[in-house]
Structure 1
Amino acid sequence: MGQVLLVDSRKLDGFEGLQQAVHGSHVDVMQLGRGRLRGTLSHVGIGDFSLSIGAFNVGMRTQRVSSDDRLIIGMLLAAEERVAHWSFDMQLNDVLVIPPLLEHDGVFHGGSAYAAMRFDLNEVATLFAGKARLSDPDTWRSRGHFRADIESGAIASRRLVRIMSHLRDNKYGLTPSTADFWKRSIAECMATNVASSLPPDGNGWLPSARRLIRKVEEFLDDAGTRPVHVSEICAALGVSRRTLHRAFQEVFGLGPVSFLRHKRLCAVHSILHQSAPGSTTVTAVAMQQGFYELGRFSQYYLAMFGERPSQTLGIAAVQAAEDEIARASRFEPGPRTTP
């Protein structure tokens, strides 16, 4: 079950550690700032897809030769001083696109932190489904710099860090279906900041909301209990994220993200309610259904069901014990009477 997820996390003690700043890609590094470099570097690999997050305390010069055949999309998470890639001056949460087989040149004038995902260009249509421009591989064939929206950029940055933290600490591994969900979730963080720099989509066509919702629910029924990302629905049904959102708002009064979260909460509840005592944990089930912020998950769960997930699991254990007692009592002889 855990073979899909590969994790590597280490502390940096010297600039040489940043030569593997992006998982699977070699970077030439030169230290610019004075002092002993300290930092951290973490990689999560999901198949051929990877997410890397690094942080360091002194200025650095980075160069990458044109030997990498994968697309790299990076985000600046923190910077004490100026950061420039090629001729682009980066601000916090900005996104940088490094196409396959293109040389890269970056200068960090002080301590900084970054996130970078690396994957095959052929996966673009899947990972960015529902976003017409972003799902087109041609969008990513030239180097680019996308200025992040201040509010949404900060949210996307925090989500990336939390996703990395929870995947890194995950002891339960990933199934193929949950691995796909996490890849889409990581891509969504990057896409948020890219989309904020693009002109609005002029496609305003909206099919019948109820007909579209019916197709979505049929798709979810076929998916079973595995978590489903919004972009997967957009790809399968050939609709834009905007169209999907408007349909859900019209029919349910809430967006597709909230709807899917409610559905995943219901799946967790059913699994916990039906689980045999000692067969699973709340954490394992929550991760399987795509919840990585366990504190927030517990809040959602309590608000929706009026009980904590541990209580649901406990109720299952009590019910199993009562069922066992009931079964045993059926075979016990009743009180004997004397004539």
Structure 2
Amino acid sequence: MGKHLSVHTGELDGFEGLHDAVKGSHVEVMQLERGKLRGTLSHVGIGDFSLSIGAFNVGVRTQRISTDPKLIIGMLLNATDRVTHWAFDMQPADVLVIPPSVEHDGVFHKASSYAAIRFDMADLPDLFGGEPRLADAEAWQAKNHFRADPAIGMSAADRLPQIIAHLAQYPDALSEASAEFWKRAIIDCVTATVVTSLPPDGTSYLPSAMKLVRDVEDYLHAAGARPVHVSEICTELRLSRRSLHRAFHEVFGVGPVTFLRYKRLCMIRSILRESRPEQTTVSKVAIEQGFIELGRFSQYYRAMFGEYPSQTLGYAG
């Protein structure tokens, strides 16, 4: 397999380490509290896309000059005191949009942690094709703040560090297709609050649920064994999340995310049954198919098939 993913994690030993708080974008930092700044900084790179996660123990002022041509979308993961960006008061799981070539000014009054994704504006149609309003670069030209969605915000904030920790264990195990899946999963975590904040688009046309589902299944069949993220389906078939959700609930009684999880579980079972323990491991197959929390994956698998994945692999041959 090629090297499609890079993961770097290091310890912070002073505020200077936060100059690289966002991979590829220089940040000016001034410490606001007495004491030795300690923390961690991690970067995930998938092609030109990057995710950065940092945590530090004292207050800092951050400023970014207007030379970065890429879009940055940030999320406050945790904070022990007030955090402001421009005039926005941030709460944990809130999302911040920093347009290209716009100066940024933030204040973390005490210990905090954050996540930030950075990518090219030209990638918007591929990432948000199912939501034309977000696929348009004009939608991202103004600095903006989105209050965390209570149903998904903290879940996403908890999930992002888990993704980095687990991907760091298998940086060479991912195919190009699997790396693309995890790129979409990361973007989905950070931007879900933005997507759910969109008002109804006012369109009344909706293809019949069965036809829409069949179109999705045809697309999945053509994709073969690679994992497919729900955002890819929305982009390729030009469907909004709302339309997809309604159709799958009408046909199957479950949402598209659950349906895709079932499909990936079935694919993993087929792979395990055709493999030997000396050829692969359950964890490698699971992460290749889009499962990051191996304990939860094992529970899903056993609930679906009545046995643990290690048992399936052990029965092979």
Task: Work out whether the TM-score is over 0.5.
Answer: yes
The residue number in structure 2 matching 1:310 is 310
After superposing the two structures, state which structure 1 stretch, 128-137 or 175-184, moved more: 128-137
Q: Write the mapping of 1:37-116 to structure 2, written as runs, cut at 5 A.
A: 37-116=37-116
SS in 2 for 1:58: strand
Q: Write the mapping of 1:125-204 to structure 2, written as runs, cut at 5 A.
A: 125-204=125-204
CA distance, structure 2, for counterparts of residue 71 and residue 252 of structure 1: 37
**Counterpart check, 1:238 vs 2:238:** yes
| One-letter code aligned to 1:184 | R
TM-score between both structures, scaled by the size of structure 1: 0.91
SS in 1 for 2:168: helix
Unaligned ranges ≥5, structure 2 = none
After superposing the two structures, state which structure 1 stretch, 196-205 or 94-103, moved more: 196-205
How far residue 190 of structure 1 moved from its aligned partner, in angstroms, is 1.6
Once the two structures are superposed, residues 24-80 of structure 1 have per-residue CA deviations (whole angstroms, 9 ceiling, x without a partner) of 111111101111101000001001000000000101011111111111000001111
How far residue 88 of structure 1 moved from its aligned partner, in angstroms, is 0.9
8 A Cα contact 1:5 1:173, kept in partner: no
Unaligned ranges ≥5, structure 1 = 321-339
| One-letter code aligned to 2:13 | D
SS in 2 for 1:7: strand
The residue number in structure 2 matching 1:328 is none
Once the two structures are superposed, residues 117-173 of structure 1 have per-residue CA deviations (whole angstroms, 9 ceiling, x without a partner) of 001111122223323322222111111111112332111111212112211222543
| One-letter code aligned to 1:58 | V
8 A Cα contact 2:130 2:236, kept in partner: no
CA distance, structure 2, for counterparts of residue 171 and residue 24 of structure 1: 20
After superposing the two structures, state which structure 1 stretch, 41-50 or 127-136, moved more: 127-136
SS in 2 for 1:33: coil
| One-letter code aligned to 2:80 | E
Q: Write the mapping of 1:224-263 to structure 2, written as runs, cut at 5 A.
A: 224-263=224-263
The residue number in structure 2 matching 1:326 is none
TM-score between both structures, scaled by the size of structure 2: 0.97
| One-letter code aligned to 1:279 | Q
| One-letter code aligned to 1:47 | G
After superposing the two structures, state which structure 1 stretch, 159-168 or 125-134, moved more: 125-134
How far residue 2 of structure 1 moved from its aligned partner, in angstroms, is 4.6
The residue number in structure 2 matching 1:35 is 35
SS in 1 for 2:54: strand
After superposing the two structures, state which structure 1 stretch, 151-160 or 102-111, moved more: 151-160
CA distance, structure 1, for counterparts of residue 67 and residue 104 of structure 2: 11
| One-letter code aligned to 1:61 | R
Bigger Cα Rg? 1
SS in 2 for 1:133: helix
CA distance, structure 1, for counterparts of residue 196 and residue 245 of structure 2: 17
CA distance, structure 2, for counterparts of residue 268 and residue 304 of structure 1: 12
| One-letter code aligned to 1:293 | E
| One-letter code aligned to 2:152 | S
Once the two structures are superposed, residues 69-119 of structure 1 have per-residue CA deviations (whole angstroms, 9 ceiling, x without a partner) of 111000001111111111111111111111111111111111110000001
CA distance, structure 2, for counterparts of residue 203 and residue 60 of structure 1: 45
CA distance, structure 1, for counterparts of residue 163 and residue 23 of structure 2: 17
| One-letter code aligned to 2:278 | G
CA distance, structure 1, for counterparts of residue 96 and residue 250 of structure 2: 36
The residue number in structure 2 matching 1:215 is 215
Amino-acid identity (%) = 63
Once the two structures are superposed, residues 223-277 of structure 1 have per-residue CA deviations (whole angstroms, 9 ceiling, x without a partner) of 0010001111111111111111111111111111011000000000000001134
8 A Cα contact 2:3 2:171, kept in partner: no
8 A Cα contact 1:85 1:107, kept in partner: yes
Q: Write the mapping of 1:245-284 to structure 2, written as runs, cut at 5 A.
A: 245-284=245-284
CA distance, structure 2, for counterparts of residue 269 and residue 158 of structure 1: 28
| One-letter code aligned to 1:207 | P
Once the two structures are superposed, residues 258-310 of structure 1 have per-residue CA deviations (whole angstroms, 9 ceiling, x without a partner) of 11000000000000001134111101110110111111100000000000000
CA distance, structure 2, for counterparts of residue 200 and residue 189 of structure 1: 21
**Equivalent residue pairs, number:** 317
CA distance, structure 2, for counterparts of residue 173 and residue 142 of structure 1: 38
| One-letter code aligned to 1:311 | Q
Please tell me the root mean square deviation across aligned C-alpha atoms, in Å: 1.3
